[in-house]
């Protein structure tokens, strides 16, 4: 369980370095992934096996998205723009 949290957090942190679509829409998508991951972690802490399986699937989605982002925004300046946009979007979980 703790490993999934660490993996998820690491993946999301990696993706703060890049983005796909416009920077703002990519930042919003990363924030949505973060919210969904937090929700699933809460459920999995109660022993919800389905939530743990969903976390694994989400981790794969995040990894694929991250690969796209790395290709789209390779420069440090672009990565910094993405970081700022993600910081604005983070914490807006519904």
The label of the residue with tokens 């699933």 reads: 40
Q: What is the DSSP letter of 11?
A: H
Quote the CA–CA distance of 48 and 42 in Å, as a whole number: 9
Over the stretch 48-71, which tens digit does the pLDDT of each residue have? 999 999 999 999 999 999 889 888
**pLDDT string in tens for the chain (94-residue length):** 555 666 666 556 555 544 345 888 998 898 899 899 989 999 989 989 999 999 999 999 999 998 898 889 999 999 888 888 888 888 777 6
Q: State pTM to two decimals.
A: 0.69
> In which element (H, E) is residue 94 found?
none
Domain ranges of the chain: 2-89
């Amino acid at each position: 369980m703790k490993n999934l949290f660490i993996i998820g957090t690491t993946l999301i942190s990696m993706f703060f370095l890049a983005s796909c679509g416009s920077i703002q829409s990519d930042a919003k998508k990363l924030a949505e992934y973060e919210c969904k991951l937090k929700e699933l972690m809460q459920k999995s802490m109660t022993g919800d096996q389905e939530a743990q399986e969903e976390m694994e699937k989400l981790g794969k989605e995040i990894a694929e998205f991250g690969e796209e982002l790395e290709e789209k925004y390779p420069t440090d300046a672009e990565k910094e723009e993405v970081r700022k946009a993600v910081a604005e979007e983070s914490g807006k979980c519904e």
